[in-house]
Amino acid sequence: MILERFIQNPYYEELIPLITSLLGNAVPSRYIVSLIALFYPEATIHLLTAIGKHDDIQILLSLHHGDKTEEFDEATLHPSIRTWMSTWVHSSQVYITHPEMSIIMQKKLLTLLSNEPSMIDALTEGLYFFFTSRNLHVEKRIMKRYAEHITSEYIVALEHSLALGDAELFDTATIENHVFFGLSEEKSSPL
């Protein structure tokens, strides 16, 4: 529902090809929601609420917006924008590794982030949109470096989550079928 409303909102029209491309490549929706949570309030509220950080929405609500277009400079970036970026990256990592996202979807996302250049391109466009909406002039090549760095953090978070998940799956492999499905031992068959 969030993605549908996002796509229908004319303010984000320039990002629609990006989102439809991600959907067309079967990118897990949690990743797409985390991406647009950078600048789309409904997605932000959903993400922060899902991970128990609803109060952090105040950071997004108080973001600096320059009166005139300024050159992007990380050294002089307004503290509210810096805080929001850190909060968003961390919250997105938690969201895409949340137990509600299946191990299969996490593995799929890890594969896409590791091997699909369009994932970097999508994040680059999202970052570009965010910073320009703050009235900052940014270069796409700089946003691409940011996207590559953020993606590497996502990959590490997913690898860590999957290592824990695989350990849990290994633990359940020793349980026999009849325990899972309530069958008597005579009726159960080996896996």
- Read off the pLDDT of residues 121-147 as tens digits, 9 standing for 90 and up: 999 999 999 999 999 999 999 999 999
Question: Which residue, among 125, 22, 14, 57, has the nearest Cα to 3 in the 3D structure?
Answer: 22
- Note the pTM of the prediction, 2 decimals: 0.83
Domain residue spans of the chain: 2-173
- How far CA 172 is from CA of 77, 84, 96, 167, in Å, comes to 48, 39, 23, 9
What is the rounded CA–CA span in Å between residue 63 and residue 117?
Answer: 30
Higher pLDDT, 67 or 79: 79
- Confidence at residue 173, expressed as pLDDT on a 0 to 100 scale: 45
pLDDT bucket at 44, cuts 50 / 70 / 90: very high
Q: Hey, is 137 helix, strand or coil?
A: strand
